[in-house]
């Protein structure tokens, strides 16, 4: 079946089908619309995550659609082959880090075995080079302060950054410990200004590979727009920054710019509201 036709097929699902597809594809339902949302909304968000897994994800979706018994669309039906049903457009690739209209999403039910009275911990890994330490400090402080309000929604933000790790004896290099934390986080946030930093790039690559394999962490990439003192800017750093931005474009990863810490906090808070309602 043509790839575009898969979206038409997904739209034929009933709520129970979507629940089964989410489970079989091991998509984290915390990052998907709640069960009270319309089928088209839920199907659209599943489609975005599946497409980001590439050919493997599309092949997996086709197999799961057959397994759960969703009737396949005929090729001569309206919209078949062009990714549309009537006037409904097939959603494009998920733009990690891009602002989007807020969506009311019911909090996900707690996983089996977890006490429903305890908040769900959302692990955020915050990465950047040393030059943005003040921005990292302000970001972490603000969102730790938000936990008092988020607990009312059954959520708790746990923010990890490389400063949180003890520089202790380890069988592996310390960067490997950071990368392990990246693979285990729910959301990966990286900040850039005049350079990328070798280790920050490595952490991004680790997060990106993990996302392609499992559907998480969600990745948000922010570039700071601010004046640069020419005496402190280094040509090699700026060239590495521009090369990294080109690589992000090639990966179809859409980054966001911020012009102040307040702007950064506001944009990421918007994303949390979009994900968790």
DSSP β-bridge partners for residue 164: none
The pLDDT of residue 186 is 92
Query: Per-domain residue ranges for the chain?
Result: 1-94, 120-276
Ranges of residues in the chain whose predicted pLDDT is under 70:
1-4, 29-31, 74-117, 162-175, 229-233, 277
Check: CATH 1.10.1060.10 for 120-276?
no
Its pTM surpasses 0.75:
no
Rg for the chain (alpha carbons), in Å? 20
Tokens matching residue 72: 């396949």
Q: Does an H or E element contain 156, and which?
A: strand 155-160
Give 76-104 as a DSSP string: TSTTTTTT-BTTBPPP----TT-------
- Specify the residue for token string 């089928």: 39
The pLDDT of residue 5 is 79
* Widest Cα–Cα separation across the chain: 64
d(CA 114, CA 108): 12
Cis check for the bond before 217: say yes or no (omega within 30 of 0).
yes
- SS3 assignment, position 220: strand
The pLDDT of residue 267 is 92
The pLDDT of residue 190 is 92
Q: What is the dihedral of CA 44, 74, 21, 179, to 10 degrees?
A: -60
d(CA 244, CA 206): 15
Tokens matching residue 129: 């080079």
């Amino acid at each position: 079946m043509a790839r575009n036709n898969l979206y038409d097929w997904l739209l034929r699902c009933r709520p129970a089908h979507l629940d089964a597809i989410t489970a079989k594809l091991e998509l984290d339902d915390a990052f998907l619309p709640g069960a009270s949302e319309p089928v088209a909304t839920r199907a659209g968000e599943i489609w975005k995550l599946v497409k980001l897994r590439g050919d493997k994800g599309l092949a997996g979706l086709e197999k799961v659609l057959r397994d759960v018994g969703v009737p396949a669309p005929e090729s001569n039906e309206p919209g078949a082959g062009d990714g549309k049903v009537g006037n409904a457009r097939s959603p494009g690739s998920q733009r990690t880090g891009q602002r989007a209209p807020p969506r009311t999403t019911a909090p996900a039910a707690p996983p089996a075995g977890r006490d429903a009275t305890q908040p769900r911990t959302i692990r955020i890994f915050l990465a950047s080079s040393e030059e943005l330490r003040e921005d990292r400090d302000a970001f972490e402080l603000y969102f730790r302060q938000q936990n008092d309000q988020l607990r009312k929604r059954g959520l708790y933000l746990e923010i990890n950054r490389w400063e949180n790790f003890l520089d202790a004896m380890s069988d592996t290099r310390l960067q490997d410990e950071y990368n392990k934390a990246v693979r285990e986080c729910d959301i990966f946030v990286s900040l850039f200004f005049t350079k990328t930093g070798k280790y920050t790039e490595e952490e991004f690559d680790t997060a990106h590979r993990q996302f392609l394999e499992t559907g998480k962490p969600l990745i948000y990439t922010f570039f700071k727009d601010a004046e640069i003192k020419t005496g402190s800017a280094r040509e090699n750093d700026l060239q590495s920054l521009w090369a990294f931005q080109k690589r992000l474009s090639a990966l179809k990863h859409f980054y966001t710019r911020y012009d102040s810490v307040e702007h950064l906090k506001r944009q990421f808070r918007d994303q949390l509201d979009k994900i968790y309602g």
